[in-house]
Amino acid sequence: MRTMADIPRLGQSRFPDKIAISMGDDSLTYAGFNQQVNQAANNLIEMGVKPGDRVALFANNSLEYPVVVYAIAKCAAIAVPINFRFQVKELIFVLNDAEPMVLYVGSDLAALVSEALPKLKAPPKVVALENLAEGNITEPDVVVDPDSASMLMFTSGTTGFPKGVLFSHRSYLAVGHCLIIDGDLNHHDSVMIPLPLFHNGGLNALLMPSLMVGATAIVTERGFDPDEILETIQNSKISLTMLVPTMLAMLINHAGADKYNVSSLRKIWYGSSPISPTVLKTSMGLFDAGFYQVYGQTETGMNSILRPEDHVDHSQCTGREMISAELRIVDESGRDLAVGEIGEIISAQQPLGMIEYFRNQKATNETIRDGWIHTGDLARVETDGLFTIVGRIKEMIISGAENIYPKEIEDALMIHPAVREAAVFGIPDDIYGEAVCAAVVLQPGAQATDQEVIAHCEKHIARYKRPKKVEFHQELPKNAAGKITKNDLRSPHWASRNKAI
């Protein structure tokens, strides 16, 4: 298995009659999946798609989605999954940046595409995803280079428009192998995919390794619906899934969650954002499963994991390097730091990381230096080799010459029983330069004052780190990928200043 194009073909030869993917009442065996992939690939070739061309997908989850993704791989073309939550402005930006030759569209998003098309520099050929044409089921006569680009993924864009990140076949398969080995995935597993397939988590962290080993992947239909998730675990005897902390919080707070039989679920991968100790502990009570925290970025691929045995004493750590990963903690000059010292975490570009930012050499040069991807995450290495993320370089607060890391304060806030979500950032202070501000969302029906929240923090962190101001919100601003956009919280406080730190 050298490229993504090999995955459907080898799946058919190894497990022809086994269910590869199911969604609702529909399913595809490994043989059926490969045949549909071949049909779609041969149709793309007839449309004139050549190696290196971009082919985009703008659609909700469906069985056709992975068929087209792997068909693109068999053409040696580049798949461009687009966030289905994007509005017209974002869609126009991504399509103008990627310039796909073909765009597959879900029927419910067709009107949005029609609005965007007249504003594109090079409008693509638009194809309805639900109506894939029948065609030749033989393997396409295309040689796929493992080091060629396979996918163009766009970042979340928390501070502006997203950047396109280009990946090779080799790097994605390396990530898949890491997750299979370190995440204990095998062909006996039934894998639930509750994440969008445009997202790295759904498409490449869950579906791809599942297909690589011959497991059965069950894709959920209704976005994130707690009842559907719990019913799917019960009825499909799900043994492995991946959830983000927000999903875990919704499940443990869901009325009637305990009426479902979820005993089949043995492995839960989680990540993408910090998890509160309360949510993690309660989740471990609801699900009698091994918990695996996975860490990585769009640019780096998944590169570290906190396995179940490490959760006993180190549940707030990020994890250890995955089998093919190499991480370092460095200072601003690139010097490696000692155990316990805080610096930037950098990840070896090969074999897991990106090729480059698409058509953005400046950003590529800033991020990839001497074969290392600079993540912008601040971290330290513990004495036992575990990594702990403490925040983002750009989010660090400097107050009275002290470096304050928002994540440490957010962790303290999330221990408070009344707090559901929290985001910490710096605001202007005439004496100290910056002061700590906490934006908080309370649990439904819960009450707390700003002074109670501040007093709570003082019990868990040094006094100089405590919030000077607490803002209560009904909800926190998030981007299309569901990540909190702290700049939207921070910028109003700096609007009257000539310079934001």
- Across 14-18, 34-38, 286-290, 485-489, least confident range: 485-489
Q: Where are the beta strands (DSSP E) in 384-432?
A: 387-392, 397-399, 402-404, 419-429
- pLDDT of 22 > 50? The answer is yes
Confidence band of 206 (pLDDT split at 50, 70, 90): very high
Of residues 126 and 253, which shows the higher confidence score? 126
- pLDDT value for 501: 46
Query: pLDDT tens digits, residue range 317-352?
Result: 999 999 999 999 999 999 999 999 999 999 999 999
- pLDDT value for 498: 46
Query: pLDDT tens digits, residue range 357-403?
Result: 999 999 999 999 999 999 999 999 999 999 999 888 888 898 887 88
- pLDDT value for 481: 67
> Residues 80, 12: contact at Cβ < 8 Å?
no
d(CA 478, CA 156): 10
- pLDDT value for 480: 67
Angle at 311 between CA 305 and CA 314, to 5 degrees: 90
Mark out the alpha helices in 88-196 (DSSP H runs).
88-98, 110-116, 169-182
d(CA 315, CA 270): 12
* Mean pLDDT on 146-172: 88
Q: Please give the CATH topology (third level) of the domain spanning 396-494.
A: GMP Synthetase; Chain A, domain 3 (3.30.300)
Domain ranges of the chain: 316-394, 396-494
Q: Which residue has the tokens 């609702």?
A: 24
- pLDDT of 499 > 50? The answer is no
Cis amide leading into 277 (omega within 30): no
327-348 burial string, b = 16+ CB within 10 Å, else e? bbbbeeeeeebeeeebbbbbbb
- pLDDT of 30 > 80? The answer is yes
> Residues 82, 57: contact at Cβ < 8 Å?
yes
DSSP string, 260-275: S--TT--EEEEESS--
Does an H or E element contain 81, and which? strand 78-81
Is beta strand 301-306 parallel, antiparallel or unpaired with respect to 290-297?
antiparallel
> Residues 202, 196: contact at Cβ < 8 Å?
yes
* Mean pLDDT on 55-63: 98
d(CA 2, CA 169): 8
* Mean pLDDT on 91-98: 96
pTM score, whole prediction: 0.86
Confidence band of 173 (pLDDT split at 50, 70, 90): very high
Query: pLDDT tens digits, residue range 239-259?
Result: 999 998 889 988 998 988 999
Top-tier CATH class for 316-394 = mainly beta
User: Same CATH topology for 316-394 and 396-494?
Assistant: no
Using a 10 angstrom Cβ sphere, with 0-12 exposed, 13-18 middle and 19 or more buried, the burial of residue 51 is middle
d(CA 289, CA 280): 12
- Across 156-170, 171-185, 206-220, 221-235, least confident range: 156-170
The interaxial angle of helices 406-415 and 450-458, nearest 10 deg, is 110
- Across 293-302, 418-427, 485-494, least confident range: 485-494
- pLDDT value for 360: 95
Question: How much of the chain, in percent, has pLDDT values that exceed 70?
Answer: 98
- pLDDT value for 284: 95
d(CA 57, CA 71): 12
